[in-house]
Amino acid sequence: MSTTEATSSTSASSTGVYLAVLQLVFTLGWTTYVIYLPKLCAEVGIAPSAVILILMLDQAIFTITDTAMGIAADRIAPFVGKLGVFVGVLTAISCAAFVALPFVAGTGPAAQVWFIALILIWVVTSSALRAPPLTLLGKYGARPAIPFLSALAMLGYGLAGAVSPYLGVVLRNHDPRLPFVISGVVLLITTLALSKVERNLAQAPRVAKAPVPAKSLGQVPMFFIASMVILSLGYQLHFSINSTPFFLRFAKPEELQWLMPVFWIGFNIAMFPASVVVKHRGGLIVMGAAGLLGALAVLGAEMAGNLNMLIAAQFIAGAAWGCMLMAAVSAALAIGETGAEGKVVGLVFSALALATFARMAAVAGGLQKLPEYAPLLQWAPVACWSVAGAGLLVIAASRMQRSMARQV
């Protein structure tokens, strides 16, 4: 490895670690919001039944703003340092609204309108922390390093998922003001470092990239995003709806805080070896294979006869989802390599938000409590992951065949 490549690799790796920390802090802040939202809503006179509707509204907004922020990042990214400023300003507004939530709620029902307004401001502006920072990987990272850097970035998301059940137990009975202040301040401080990270990447020696055709993947992007929606829906239904009942077959409710993170342990561990496969074979094939593996793992969780078998199945399911998400970010950066990295990564996050919205809608509609819908919710994750996984493998194989034909 030349000195230029080594310097560029070190700078990119530091960026990956930074993005992991950013995603960790942001996701923990979101977790804090979800934990306390019912209590805050009660303080301003919002009925408990409306809490799920507010959370659905949040995800509906993310579905639109994640892509919009990604497009904005693409337009700003060519100007070195501007992306960090853009994200920093929006995050300052976001954190101010976030920190204000428990204080405004504490004033009582008269502040209900202000409380809703602060939620809307926080949700819209916090989209700046999802797709835009990841565009730096596609803009400055060497193409072979992107899968590993994507795994690093998603590590923060996975770590937050692992500690969230425990965080919920610890925070639930505490005054929300201090957790909100701490989360907001830490997130703002972390985000303000983005401009420095961006400048360091821009000043690092650049590794030459081979030119990429403007439409290198043809119709694949639309199929890719549709598959991401289906894969995300499978994850949402399996982890957020079905996993708790699975564990309660063999464990007590108070043990869930130690059992639910098994999924995320698998998620965090599997991404890094899978990134090597993405580097050599591409993101689509890894997404497809992980989808099929995940479907088998979910099937194993459905049929587990004891706690140990269920833990193993959950670990594998989490590993599969980690591979899917890491490969999806890598594939998105590859698809958008001609200057649309933010747009395509934004579409990935929009797909995640849309799937979350669908899961919340199912919960709000009480589908999990209706006997006639129980088989649907039980087997839907298997169907989602297997169908999308098989489709992605077919597309990956077709692209590989065409590539080989052009070389002959």
Q: 3-state DSSP call for residue 27?
A: helix
pTM summary value: 0.90
The three-class DSSP label of residue 61 is helix
Q: Measured between alpha carbons, how far is 280 from 27 in angstroms, rounded to an integer?
A: 30
**Pick from 277, 242, 248: nearest CA to 385:** 242
Closest CA to 328 of 392, 382, 390: 392
Is residue 251 within 8 Å of 307, Cβ to Cβ? yes
Structure tokens at 347: 């579409």
Residue 64 is predicted with a pLDDT of: 94
- Position 206 scores a pLDDT of 54
Q: What is d(CA 135, CA 336) in angstroms, rounded to the nearest whole number?
A: 9
Domains of the chain: 1-209 (1.20.1250.20), 211-408 (1.20.1250.20)
Give the burial class of 342: count Cβ atoms within 10 A of its Cβ; 0-12 exposed, 13-18 middle, 19 or more buried: buried
CA 210 → CA 144, 331, 382, 401, distances in Å? 11, 17, 39, 21
CA 130 – CA 157 distance, rounded (Å):
11
Q: In whole angstroms, what is the distance from residue 334 CA to residue 212 CA?
A: 10
DSSP element (H, E) containing 405: helix 374-407
Contact yes or no for 318/264 (Cβ under 8 A): yes
pLDDT computed for residue 365 by the predictor: 83
Residue 10 to residue 22: CA distance in whole angstroms? 18
The position carrying tokens 């000043």 is 203
d(CA 298, CA 316): 9
Contact predicate 209/142, CB 8 Å: yes
- Inter-residue contact 137 to 153 (CB < 8 Å): yes
Q: Exposed, middle or buried: residue 223 (CB in 10 Å: 0-12, 13-18, 19+)?
A: middle
Mean pLDDT by 10 residues, the chain (408 residues): 50 80 91 93 92 94 93 82 86 94 92 94 92 82 81 90 83 86 92 82 58 48 89 94 92 89 95 92 91 96 93 96 94 81 90 94 83 82 95 84 64
- Kindly state the tokens that stand for 285: 């094939």
Radius of gyration over every alpha carbon of the chain, rounded to an integer in angstroms:
21
